[in-house]
Chain A
Amino acid sequence: MIPEAPRLSDVDEWGRSERIRSLARRIYAPVYSRWFRVEWEGLDKIPAAGGALLVGNHAGAIPSDAPVIMHGVETELGRPVYGLADYFFRGLPVVGTLWSRAGGVPARPDNAYRLLHDHQELALVFPEGEKGPSKPYTQRYQLQRFGRGGFVEIAMSAGVPVVPIAVVGSEETMPVLWQVPQLARVLRVPYLPVTANMVLMGPVGLAVPFPSKFRLRVLDPVTFDVEPGRERYPKSRVLEESERIRESMQRALDDMLRLRRSVWFG
């Protein structure tokens, strides 16, 4: 092999750039600590080394939970977090490239397996998918269906733990009042809601979330007593584990909501 000059960019094989991530963290830091005033509970439960699948509840029309979790874990643990999300973003010019440089990876089983097993990285996934952020405000903090339990299957085959994270505060950042599916179809976006932000702030509300207080609680990592590396696992077992994780997260959310005295001050 020919000796090589140092790389010009630090873009890795997933498209993530640590340089761009650290710039994004610097920009996001005031939002994280001043606007949302994020507080963590049990951050030490996230493994400091080795692969792990972080799983959170997803909420708010433009969800702030993903950047908050990624920012928090990266600053506190000093490890990169890859956010698994719908490939929809990848098709958008500029947005797709920035999303990828900031650690976004299309959510596919083979991508997740390679990240978790081969590279032993942290990956973040929201098993509710778009059902979380698109649900109306009246259903806040009610976990939606966890897909078909794919996240459990990936963690099983990659042989890594699932680390559930309960997030309180995200629902109030951008409450969804109602959906406009016709416009969503025309604009070819996954969903298009009318939010309270738009009603109160007009066009500014398209992008600016309300400053609700964020509290995150990391639950005990869930390991599965199965042989890793298998092509598939019994569906009953997968759904059972998925449901158990969902219930533990719902319990944590209910508990955190009971303790919360104010949406804005926590």
Chain B
Amino acid sequence: MSETSRSVLVTGADTFWGARILRALEGDPAIEMLLGLATSAAATTFERARLLYVEPTFSALRSVVRTSQVDTVIHPCMIVDSVHASGNEIHETNVIATMNLLAAAGTSGSSVRHLVVKSSSLVYGSTKQDPATFCEETPRADVPRTDLERSLIEAEGLVDDFAQDNPSATVVLLRVSDVLGAHIATPITKNLSRPVCPCVGGFDPLVQFVHEHDVVRAVTLATRHRLTGTYNVAGPGRLPWSEVTTICGSRRLPLPPVRPGLAVAPLARLGIFDFPPELDALLRYGRGMDTSRLVAAGFEYRYTSEGAVHAFARHLRLARSARASLSAGTAPPQRPRSHGTPAPGRRRGPDHEP
């Protein structure tokens, strides 16, 4: 698909997704130059990608874009977890940094022809009025009430504006569902890895997951195939939260259906629970997404929603047994590795895409 050599800029080289996407793109011979933007010292080392340190709101990117002559910008570093970020941080990262990035990419005479932005299924919200399945065009049923959702919706609006102002550029927006994987840490993965995890009493919603490898593959596919438009990224199928917790071997602690956030506030403070307001809504009404558009564009999911949960549960079991044997003072047992499940601590390998 990549007929000409390309130069690609990826934001957030020091973040989870930025680093992963950079590493996946390093293996693509069609990419001549790979640039990563970082705002702090990156934890990963890269073989090919050059890192550029910039300030967190991307306010001085114009010269970077002009001198590097990149033709593709990938922006995967928006915050989607409100537990460890203040409202102000979320606004600065999701709205202001995106605005500055798009402004730099959209100046007259800019070399940028392709834009890939990773957004989140949080823009759909989660309410009782929701359809069972959100298509890319389904409007949100309620007014967003949290800083995080508002910032993501505003950022998507900026991307829309960019697409209108630059009709010759391909612009793709990927709405990624809740992610599971051995490496990623989200409120959901953290809750599921504990012996007891929250649910909202009397509710057992249908939830849909996507595996972290599939997210990286979806971003690289969107980049290679120069997709344009909005695409849901979510493993096919969905399952009730009770089934998810059972597979992961975690007991459900029902929270009162009225203001559950208040009830767990002390526990959340101590770090025993992660319960951002977005999770309160999700654990009541769930969310389902239509996955057919990305599949029609040539993407093949390696993990269904359920497959992602099983893969994550396998990772949890390995991590627990490794911890148990470490505390017993013996070496971790040598277990046959099941396909597609990286052993804990192993960082490379499965993330590298062919």
Contact = CB atoms under 8 A, between A and B. Distances in A.
A110 B138 contact: yes
Interface string B6-17: 000000000000
B201 to A, nearest CB: 6
Contacts of B238: 13
Given A1-B301, A1-B302, A14 B132 contact: yes
Given A8-B246, A13-B238, A96 B306 contact: no
A111 interface: yes
Contact of A11 (B201, B206, B247, B340): B206
B288 interface: yes
Interface of B: 128-133, 135, 138, 200-204, 206, 237-240, 242-243, 246-247, 257, 285, 288, 301-304, 306-307, 310-311, 339-340
Contacts of B130: 106
B129 A87 contact: yes
Interface residues of A, number: 27
A237 B243 CA distance: 46
**Leading 3 A-B pairs by shortest Cβ distance:** A93-B202, A90-B128, A94-B202
A106 B131 contact: yes
B128 A9 contact: no
A88 B340 CA distance: 42
A90 B285 contact: yes
A235 interface: no
Contacts of A96: 128, 202-203
A88 B127 CA distance: 11
A207 interface: no
Question: Which residue, A2, A14, A88, A91, has most C-beta atoms of chain B within 10 A?
Answer: A2
A97 B132 contact: no
B131 A111 contact: yes
B311 A11 contact: no
A11 to B, nearest CB: 5
Contacts of A7: 239, 243, 306
Contacts of B288: 13
B307 A2 contact: yes
A180 B204 CA distance: 32
A230 interface: no
B133 A13 contact: yes
A9 B306 contact: no
Given A1-B303, A9-B239, A13-B237, A93 B133 contact: no
A37 B288 CA distance: 40
A1 B129 CA distance: 33
B144 to A, nearest CB: 18
Nearest to B246: A8
A26 interface: no
A87 B129 CA distance: 6
Question: Which residue, B128, B246, B301, B303, has most C-beta atoms of chain A within 10 A?
Answer: B128
Contact of A13 (B135, B138, B206): B206
A105 interface: yes
A4 interface: yes
A108 interface: yes
Contacts of A106: 128-132
